[in-house]
């Protein structure tokens, strides 16, 4: 661990651990890069916040993970800093602050909000990329290894943009998950800011207690990726792992300890173990792909082991989750509650014995 990393303070993830599970919604799947600013604003304005919140309350979801943007160049909250750098008129940042509206509607029910943001900004919007300084991206057809991983000009500007959002949302946002933060050592070297430390500082600007994760990509299992994150991103490839195994991950350039084949657990390298999976036929789309008994049973096992799982739930452009997915979420919520009750009972027995 570098000297800079050794002085970094990780935030408490107790609330995430106690939650055990949550719902993820990829809203920005509904915003293709070619969508006009006017159409985007109409889509965001039509989002039924109260309807989604009622569904989350009904299934007992302790938190919601929600995309603010996903590479198309459309964002569901205003950001003057983004507008200044991107130089687009009209702006593709929505007039409505959907993130704040969600947070305000969730808060009375004790449901927390984690915001998803892309590490590579508006990679599909080539006009915005010019102003942002995103000169290269893997979607341009460049094969690994990229000719130059590091883009400090873009990274500094993107951190300014994320700082604006963080300050705008304040304590209403309890966490951030940053997708596509590939090639940590090359893109975000510990000894050369901007890097994941400065990125994390920007994300904590509005809420110093916010928890953070940097996603290095989908894999068959999960490892801790950076000393500057509090929980693992844990993006899976649709599998339902029940234990750990040593394997090589090209983006993480790290290996799990040899002969590490134990069960899931609460902590991995000092981070809360969090897994990220999808209920639909793929991320954000389709009907249930697995039997309800299976996803509920696996969730109960995950939570019983003190790990956490976020389930991606497909939903319509109006924000409403279809009934078959809601039925699975209800079963998942009940299974997670059983696991939490079991954990609490075991802890009570241990305390009484001591």
* DSSP codes, 299-343: HHHHHHTT-EEEEE----TTSPPPHHHHHHHHHHHHHHHHHHHHH
Q: Mean pLDDT check: name the lowest of 4-13, 77-86, 282-291, 340-349.
A: 340-349
Contacts of residue 22, Cβ cutoff 8 Å, sequence gap at least 6: 61, 62, 63, 64, 65, 114, 308, 310, 311
* pLDDT tens profile 66-82: 999 999 999 999 999 99
* Rounded-to-integer distance, Cα 345 and Cα 287, Å: 36
Residue-number span of the structural domain to which 231 is assigned: 12-353
Q: Let me know if residue 5 belongs to a domain.
A: no
Q: Let me know if residue 1 belongs to a domain.
A: no
pLDDT (average), residues 101-130 = 97
pLDDT (average), residues 170-187 = 95
pLDDT (average), residues 141-163 = 87
The CATH number assigned to the domain holding 172 equals 3.20.20.80
**Percent of all residues in the chain with a pLDDT value above 70, rounded to a whole number:** 88
Q: Let me know if residue 6 belongs to a domain.
A: no
Do residues 46 and 317 touch, judged by C-beta distance below 8 A?
yes
User: What is the reported pLDDT for 246?
Assistant: 40
* pLDDT tens profile 243-296: 865 443 444 455 554 445 678 999 988 999 999 999 999 999 999 999 999 999
Q: Mean pLDDT check: name the lowest of 114-118, 185-189, 330-334.
A: 185-189
Q: How far is CA 169 from CA 101, 110, 205, in A?
A: 10, 17, 10
198, pLDDT greater than 60: yes
User: What is the reported pLDDT for 42?
Assistant: 96
* Rounded-to-integer distance, Cα 32 and Cα 299, Å: 32
Q: Let me know if residue 3 belongs to a domain.
A: no
- Report the chain's mean pLDDT, rounded to a whole number: 91
215, pLDDT greater than 60: yes
What is the distance between the terminal CA atoms of the chain, rounded to a whole angstrom?
A: 36
Q: Mean pLDDT check: name the lowest of 117-126, 146-155, 315-324.
A: 146-155
* pLDDT tens profile 31-47: 778 899 999 999 999 99
Q: Mean pLDDT check: name the lowest of 80-89, 212-221, 222-231, 243-252.
A: 243-252
User: What is the reported pLDDT for 148?
Assistant: 75
Burial class (CB in 10 A: 0-12, 13-18, 19+), 344: exposed
* Rounded-to-integer distance, Cα 274 and Cα 25, Å: 16
The count of domains in the chain is 1
User: What is the reported pLDDT for 250?
Assistant: 40
Q: Let me know if residue 4 belongs to a domain.
A: no
Structure tokens at 128: 């915005």
What residues pair up with 4 in beta bridges, in sequence order?
A: none
* pLDDT tens profile 167-177: 999 999 999 99
Q: Let me know if residue 2 belongs to a domain.
A: no
Our CA angle for 128, 131, 135, nearest 5°, is 85
Structure tokens at 51: 């309807």
Q: Let me know if residue 7 belongs to a domain.
A: no
Q: Let me know if residue 335 belongs to a domain.
A: yes
Using pLDDT thresholds of 50, 70 and 90, give the confidence band for residue 328: very high
331, pLDDT greater than 80: yes
Do residues 311 and 332 touch, judged by C-beta distance below 8 A?
yes
pLDDT top residue among 237 and 80: 80
């Amino acid at each position: 661990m570098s000297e800079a990393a050794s002085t970094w303070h990780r935030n408490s993830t107790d609330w995430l651990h106690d939650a055990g599970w949550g719902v993820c919604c990829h809203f920005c799947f509904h915003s293709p890069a070619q969508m006009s600013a006017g159409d985007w604003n109409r889509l965001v304005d039509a989002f039924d916040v109260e309807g989604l919140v009622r569904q989350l309350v009904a299934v007992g979801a302790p938190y919601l993970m929600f995309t603010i943007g996903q590479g198309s160049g459309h964002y569901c909250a205003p950001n003057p800093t983004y507008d200044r750098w991107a130089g687009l008129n009209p702006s593709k940042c929505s007039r409505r602050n959907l993130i704040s509206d969600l947070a305000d509607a969730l808060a009375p029910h004790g449901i927390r909000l984690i915001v998803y943001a892309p590490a590579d900004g508006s990679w599909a919007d080539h006009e915005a990329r010019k102003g942002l300084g995103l000169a290269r991206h893997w979607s341009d057809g460049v094969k690994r290894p990229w000719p130059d991983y590091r883009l400090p000009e873009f990274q500094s500007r993107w951190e300014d943009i994320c700082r604006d959002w963080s300050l705008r949302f304040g304590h209403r946002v309890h966490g951030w998950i940053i997708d596509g933060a590939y090639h940590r050592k090359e893109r975000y070297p510990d000894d050369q800011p901007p890097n994941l430390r400065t990125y994390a500082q920007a994300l904590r600007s509005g809420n110093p207690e916010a928890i953070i994760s940097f996603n290095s990509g989908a894999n068959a299992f999960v490892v801790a990726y950076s000393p500057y994150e509090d929980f693992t991103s844990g993006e899976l490839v649709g599998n339902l792992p029940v234990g750990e195994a040593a394997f090589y991950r090209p983006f993480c350039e790290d290996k799990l300890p040899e002969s590490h084949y134990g069960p899931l657990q609460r902590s991995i390298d000092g981070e809360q173990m969090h897994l990220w999976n999808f209920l639909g036929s793929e991320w954000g789309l389709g009907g249930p792909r697995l039997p309800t008994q299976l996803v509920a049973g696996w969730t109960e096992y995950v939570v019983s082991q003190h790990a956490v799982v976020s389930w991606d739930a497909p939903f319509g452009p109006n924000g409403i989750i279809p009934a078959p997915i809601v039925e699975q979420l209800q079963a998942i919520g009940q299974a997670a509650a059983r696991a939490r009750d079991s954990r609490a009972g075991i802890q009570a027995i241990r305390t009484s014995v001591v």
